[in-house]
Amino acid sequence: MTEPPILVWLRDDLRLADNPALDAALARRRPLVLLWLLDEVSPGIRPLGGAARWWLHHSLSAFARSVEALGGRLVLRRGPAAVVVPAVVEEIGADTVLWNRRWGGGEVAVDRELKSGFAGRGVRVESFRAALLHEPTTLRTGAGTPFRDITPFRNACLAAGTPRPPLPAPTALPAWPGAIASDRLADWRLLPTAPDWSGGIAATWTPGEAAAAARLDAFLDEGIYSYDRDRDRPDRAATSHLSPHLRFGEISPFQIVVALAARAERADPPPPAARDKFLAELGWREFSHHQRFHAPDIADHNRHRRFDAFPWRDDPATLAAWSRGETGYPLVDAGMRELWTTGTMHNRVRMVVASFLVKHLLIDWRAGERWFWDTLVDACPAANPASWQWVAGCGADAAPYFRIFNPVTQGTKFDPDGTYVRRWLPELARLPAAVIHAPWTASRSVLDTAGLRLGRDRPLPIVDHTLARTRALAALATLGTGD
């Protein structure tokens, strides 16, 4: 009698290497069915934004090709997990379901419900650590409470010990020989069509496990060496560009940490300061997921409840100007153009444009978070809201609200020659560096030489920085001091 197949339910782990659920299934030497489910309807599950849907389409396509090359098959289904996963188990007669753990509130609830239901039917369920170096149930403060500050959280991560080594990729996948229906990826309509705005994204990114590995290698060969010095410079290619690959699990944090450690053993190792800074950024990702686990409503509610009374302005026209990159501040507008064109934005610039929205314009951080959710290819349900709350001053270990970025001085400090601004605002390309971050200060002759007419070719600033800062501090003063 043929043994029943094992169902491997894949989620944000679209990779063959270092995939613990897949590795455990292969160790049982039985036929496998690999399932990927598009669930946009279960309670607490946030549907993907447009740019992330583009990424998912191409990531699934790449993963399916890799699976097929090893003799396996990826089954696609759509619908609520509580209905679809048990239906697939019954269709194939599986007695074992394996998956890698996920930590969003709605996701945890779905997984617990499924585990409970399968236990009553005699179906074995096992889950594995794959997406985080340190899972939210394993780290607590000395008082037994969740961490609210990043520094003690990072210290706890370091004290927890060395991450496990990555698991090797399989060389073959024993596919179940039975018949099972699968959706057509094209029928999910994840790609934009009317209009197709993804040309710049496609020119910038290659989704998939192979591309993720290549990105990591390129970064560790070059970018890591100056990471601590140059990571805040949007005019330089100094960051890893791994965030969307991590978001969809095309690479694991274990693979990154171990590869970084291996580079430290070379004859020309990266400087410790650069290595530590990069690990700190991985720590922020971990901290964001811990926040989301302990506060599942992080995308909708302030962590510091006193901000519930903040006097946000309802100003659709100004929000639209910010979204289109028409604020009149070159660094802000360049960032928003980069986002719309490529589906990403340099991290330093993300902080500046977010600060501008919530402090210069007094528009609710949730409006900006939703715009990023729809336009970022790396829109992470943990890091995106956690980062917005950090900037807005209402999140865990947040920057103080009174710390208000000046977009002009941020530009002159981190894009001193105007290279980044010229790349994304070519209408300013002929301005000298001395005025490129504040074109309204340029003389008429400088503007004429640059062929620039403010108010026509580029908008004037929609708000004065000094007045905006005064207004923001006055709004802050209306709040109490409690949490």
Query: What number of other Cβ atoms are within 10 A of residue 446's Cβ?
Result: 16
| Catalytic annotation present for 322 | no
| Catalytic annotation present for 103 | no
| Catalytic annotation present for 284 | yes
281, 326, 427, 440: which is the annotated catalytic residue? 281
Q: Hunting for tokens 């991560």 — which residue is that? A: 157
| Catalytic annotation present for 371 | no
Nearest alpha carbon to residue 212 among 166, 173, 172, 174: 166
CA distance 76 to 74: 6
Query: What SS3 state is found at 222?
Result: coil
126, 188, 197, 312: which is the annotated catalytic residue? 312
126, 135, 188, 284: which is the annotated catalytic residue? 284
Q: Hunting for tokens 């039975």 — which residue is that? A: 178
| Catalytic annotation present for 209 | no
Q: In what order do the strands lie in the sheet with 96-100?
A: 74-78, 32-38, 6-10, 96-100, 124-128
Token pair for 138: 């394993």
| Helix, strand counts (H, E) of the chain | 20, 5
Token pair for 418: 């105007």
The Cα-based distances of 388 to 89, 369, 373, 377, 394 in angstroms read 40, 6, 11, 16, 9
365, 373, 390, 424: which is the annotated catalytic residue? 365
List, in sequence order, every residue forming a beta bridge with 124; answer none if it has no partner.
Answer: 96
| Catalytic annotation present for 36 | no
- Residue 105: alpha-carbon gap to chain centroid: 17
91, 135, 188, 347: which is the annotated catalytic residue? 347
103, 205, 373, 388: which is the annotated catalytic residue? 388
Query: Which residues are annotated as catalytic?
Result: 281, 284, 312, 347, 365, 388
